[in-house]
Structure 1
Amino acid sequence: MALVLFLLLTLLLPSTNGDWPPSPGYWPSSKFRTMNFYKGYRNLWGPQHQKQDQNALTLWLDSTSGSGFKSVRPFRSGYFGASIKLQPGYTAGVITSLYLSNNEAHPGFHDEVDIEFLGTTFGKPYTLQTNVYIRGSGDGKIIGREMKFHLWFDPTQHFHHYAILWSPKEIIFLVDDVPIRRYPRKSSATFPLRPMWVYGSIWDASSWATDDGKYRADYRYQPFVAQYTNFKASGCSAYSPSWCRPVSASPFRSGGLTRQQYRAMRWVQSHHMVYDYCRDPKRDHSLTPECWG
């Protein structure tokens, strides 16, 4: 009984380990059922570079192609996550992603919410980039809203769960249920509101992915492999009735985060964030008015 109580307290109490974030105290991924990949998704491109085995989906990139998948349904809000394991070693120029987009429905004028792993060189950590594009700001006139992190663990050693919670009020990015970024809706001009599909992919972005293109994909190290499992996509689809209630990342049905979740997020941002577009003096912040206040 004492052991059970100790383990329960370990889970519930905030962590004091300086190398790991404090406990968020709430685990939204546990509220959503894992889905079979083929019930919710389909191959989008590179089918010869995509394989499912024992509930894990493997994508790989070589000199001929990468691969990507797309959800069957579009959503207007929801929780979208997957557990991902990345390839170690030299992966410069390679992007592994999980994201929301309506690019195919609105070419040249699309919205997008990204989790992207930027490949790296030997001995350097992966960068996890979060980003938000609104109504065409990623279509030639780039107005990115990037926040980048070096994670508190090695994402090549084990599967870790990465998720986007998108509601009409906010976007919350989570890693193993720890919120790492909250992007609130401050105006309709700076927030994506049109239905989006869920995507995942691995592809060559040598022109910008690693140190602004300084290091490129080196196909002597091919294939570059990414593994996905534990798929979750739950919320209001574009076809749901109007009374469908957006999901939350916290115990609050109305959305937002608890004080304990904010504490964990502040810890991540103070210890592991390596770039914030709102703090970049080289950016024209008249294009990102949400940074003002």
Structure 2
Amino acid sequence: MALFVSLLFLFMFPLSSINGQGPPSPGYHPSSGIGSIGFNQGFRNLWGPQHQSLDQGALTIWLDRSSGSGFKSLNPYSSGYFGAAMKLQTGYTAGVITSFYLSNNEAHPGDHDEVDIEFLGTTLGKPYVLQTNVYIRGSGDGNIIGREMKFHLWFDPTADFHNYAILWNPTEIIFFVDDVPIRRYPRKSDATFPLRPMWVYGSIWDASSWATENGKYKADYDYQPFVGKYSNFKIAGCNANGAASCRPASGSPSGSMGLSSQQYAAMAWVQNHYKVYDYCQDTQRDHKLTPEC
């Protein structure tokens, strides 16, 4: 029996994972069945056009004293898989946010929904924080009710491109890093889940008031420009203006909602080793405002 348990452990958590070189294989890679698109096939510049350049399918956006930059999908979506490879700036990046996210802020100002992948800039010698977040119906506006879960990563996100994705369907939101699920946010009630169409965005901007250690460290423009690089864009979603028969995306090999046992094991490994904040576990929060906890 002991030998069986040992072999099972090594199967689910290979030595490379135990030694900190990466999580166990999720066994399924949702991005593999989705073709990449060129930036202009799915997106357009939203702001800061002079701080955005496109070269052989790779998009570069940057922030300096004068401006940051952002882009937006051509279409709104009611569900889907949305991904991009990203490479982050090295060195001092405190106060700077580099993001890839879903939102309907322009359609519902003051009352919007949002699903975020945000890299919080850092100081020299400290790792980036990847923040995932979900806002529902204006809770990201005047009445801030964030649902943050934050991670460090098992690799250096400044050394190369890695794939980051959000899967959103009527029952769940799943955040992926290189096809490894790092967080699953299930729909427990209509009041705690975004249900209105959203667009896909990316941006780089100055969030000195809160981004790095709650605003302790600000953006320092002696280090400008701050650069974010994007490539390998993937959109496989139900266009909000398209056919009602469109089938929502799934993150599991069975095509059903939820994840496989192997995917759940990989997600548990990431959360056990690299999660650094969970709003549901924050004793300073008023959890009457987040009943899903």
State the match for 1:242 in structure 2: 244
Amino acid at match of 2:120: L
SS at match of 1:268: helix
Amino acid at match of 1:86: L
Q: How does 1:205-284 map to 2 (within 5 A)?
A: 205-284=207-286
State the match for 1:146 in structure 2: 148
Whole-Å separation in 1 of the counterparts to 2:262 and 2:224: 42
Displacement of 1:16 after TM fit? 2.9
Displacement of 1:13 after TM fit? 7.2
State the match for 1:16 in structure 2: 15
Whole-Å separation in 2 of the counterparts to 1:13 and 1:143: 36
State the match for 1:84 in structure 2: 86
Amino acid at match of 1:15: P
SS at match of 1:212: coil
Query: Displaced runs of 4+ in structure 1, greater than 4 A?
Result: none
Displacement of 1:235 after TM fit? 1.3
SS at match of 1:113: strand
The alignment covers a number of residue pairs equal to 280
Q: Does the CA contact (< 8 Å) of 1:79 and 1:166 recur in 2?
A: yes
Q: Deviations over 1:60-109 (max 9, x none)?
A: 00000000000000000000000000001000000000000000000000
Whole-Å separation in 2 of the counterparts to 1:117 and 1:125: 10
SS at match of 1:179: strand
State the match for 1:3 in structure 2: none
Whole-Å separation in 2 of the counterparts to 1:33 and 1:13: 29
Amino acid at match of 1:264: A
Whole-Å separation in 2 of the counterparts to 1:255 and 1:176: 20
Whole-Å separation in 2 of the counterparts to 1:285 and 1:16: 39
**Are residues 14 and 240 of structure 1, via their aligned partners in 2, closer, same or farther at CA, if it must alter by over 3 Å?**
farther
Q: Deviations over 1:30-72 (max 9, x none)?
A: 1111001001100000000000012110000000000000000
State the match for 2:4 in structure 1: none
Whole-Å separation in 1 of the counterparts to 2:39 and 2:12: 34
Amino acid at match of 1:59: I
Whole-Å separation in 1 of the counterparts to 2:254 and 2:112: 30
Q: Does the CA contact (< 8 Å) of 2:76 and 2:198 recur in 1?
A: yes
CA RMSD in angstroms comes to: 1.0
State the match for 1:75 in structure 2: 77
User: What is the identity percentage for the equivalent residue pairs of Structure 1 and Structure 2?
Assistant: 73
Displacement of 1:203 after TM fit? 0.2
Whole-Å separation in 1 of the counterparts to 2:186 and 2:114: 15
Displacement of 1:158 after TM fit? 0.5
Structure 2: tracts of 5 or more residues without a match: 1-10
Q: Deviations over 1:89-147 (max 9, x none)?
A: 00000000000000000000000000000000000000000000000000111000000
Whole-Å separation in 1 of the counterparts to 2:255 and 2:164: 21
Q: Does the CA contact (< 8 Å) of 1:165 and 1:173 recur in 2?
A: yes
Q: How does 1:12-51 map to 2 (within 5 A)?
A: 15-17=14-16, 18=18, 19=20, 20-51=22-53
